[in-house]
Amino acid sequence: MNCVITQTAADLLMRSAAVSIDISSEIYYNYYNTIRKVKIMAIKVFISKDKKQFKGNMHCHSTISDGRLTPEELKAAYKAEGYQVLAITDHCFPCPHNDLTDDEFLLLTGYEAYIRPNKKAKSDRFLPEVHLSLFAREKDNDKYVCYNKIYCKYYKGDPSIFNRVGSEEPREYTMEYINEFIKTATDNGYLVSYNHPTWSMEDPDNILKLEGWHSIEMDNTNSYLINSLEHNEMLYDKLLRNGVRVGCHAGDDNHNKKPFGHPLCDSFGSFTMFVADELNYDSVFGAFEKGDYYSSTGPQILSLSIEDGKTVRVETTDADRIIMFNNTRKTKIELDENGGTVNCAEFELHEKSDYFRITVIDKQGKRACSRGYFRDEF
């Protein structure tokens, strides 16, 4: 925890004769027979201006599965658009792309798995299904979790090439099986995210039953183009209110069936900002694992902190409004009543609030969303 001390205290602390006694979060300094009372302000910084931010697409498909662009073409396209991080998450095909990483662009290792009610893994648009992204803690991790031939439909070769772990029994569309799948993935070095929950049509009460997962897709460009609903703040708050501590990230889920610039192009719409020290695998993945990231479709959160467990301060790029959510019906909003933009806000958090999170909305309606920060974190 970082502490900010008033100037009077700082002057006193520089004197070797100063003596301090901690009494009820206030410190009394005895200096040359003079008692001075100094308030210590405890500040917890969640997003610091001192760290870099790297823009990444965490959901992407290439020609290895059902995408139209090769991994090399995807890297070139996203690098040209100012991204620094890309996770190519092809369907049921773990495949590291470390050869594409360079000093200016990082490939994260992962893949997308899915579980359907149909025993033959056939898609039915009237039924729910679960899609999970598995992000590898180690860049060379190529483990295939719970291999099942009928789900591995994009690979027609010898399945012995895969580094297979876990049960290979037929997949079951039950929360018990899905939880066991998540556990097998986490035991084998993956962090698991829940993808496009609105598109998947899963009952939110079932999602509450999932265990051991890491993050939810707040925004998904491809799904939004399909259903116009894939922004998941209501679901996210339901999870947080029920004590489910997961982060929120965003990705395009791009397949690139439409060319760049087309109104239905599914690239460059939803992204994750990683708050990290350096552009390398350990630093960026470490930020993801620690919760030092946020989702966005446009704005940026430049800094975020809380003082004395109650005063939340946030700085952003130009916004129409900045909103603080918590586990009450009432949000707190900062905006310009004359219709201009704002780029900072200060909110008082109610002492009974279990958590808070921040949403930033710009003049185009694009949003950035922080994860939920729980009281025991500050």
Q: In which residue are the tokens 């939803």 written?
A: 270
Does residue 125 form part of some domain? yes
**CATH number for position 221:** 3.20.20.140
Distance CA 70, CA 163 (A): 23
Residues 135 and 206 in one domain: yes
Strands 190-194 vs 293-296: parallel, antiparallel or unpaired: unpaired
Residues 96 and 205 in one domain: yes
Does residue 344 form part of some domain? yes
Q: In which residue are the tokens 């009450």 written?
A: 328
Does residue 48 form part of some domain? no
pLDDT per position as a tens digit, 159-211: 889 999 999 999 999 999 999 999 999 999 999 999 999 999 999 999 999 99
Residues 259 and 342 in one domain: no
Does residue 332 form part of some domain? yes
Query: Which of 238, 267, 296 delimits the end of a domain?
Result: 296
Distance CA 139, CA 312 (A): 36
Name which of 82, 76, 139 is nearest 109 in CA terms. Answer: 139
Does residue 132 form part of some domain? yes
Query: Which of 260, 279, 296 delimits the end of a domain?
Result: 296
Residues 171 and 69 in one domain: yes
Does residue 100 form part of some domain? yes
Assigned token pair, 25: 């979060």
Does residue 348 form part of some domain? yes
CB 293 within 8 A of CB 287: yes
Residues 328 and 282 in one domain: no
pLDDT computed for residue 13 by the predictor: 32
pLDDT computed for residue 22 by the predictor: 34
Residues 258 and 118 in one domain: yes
**CATH number for position 336:** 2.60.40
Query: Which of 296, 323, 351 delimits the end of a domain?
Result: 296
Residues 73 and 38 in one domain: no
Residues 307 and 363 in one domain: yes
Residues 23 and 83 in one domain: no
pLDDT computed for residue 40 by the predictor: 62
pLDDT computed for residue 150 by the predictor: 93
pLDDT computed for residue 25 by the predictor: 35
Structural domain of residue 141, as residue ranges?
53-296
Q: In which residue are the tokens 């990683």 written?
A: 274
pLDDT computed for residue 39 by the predictor: 54
Phi and psi at 120, nearest 5°, equal -100, 10
Phi and psi at 76, nearest 5°, equal -60, -40
pLDDT computed for residue 146 by the predictor: 97
Name which of 183, 175, 71, 63 is nearest 130 in CA terms. Answer: 175
pLDDT under 70: residue ranges of the chain: 1-40
Residues 135 and 74 in one domain: yes
Does residue 306 form part of some domain? yes
Q: How many domains does the chain have?
A: 3
Q: At residue 96, what is the residue type? A: P
Residues 25 and 59 in one domain: no
Residues 164 and 15 in one domain: no
112, burial (CB in 10 Å: exposed 0-12, middle 13-18, buried 19+): buried
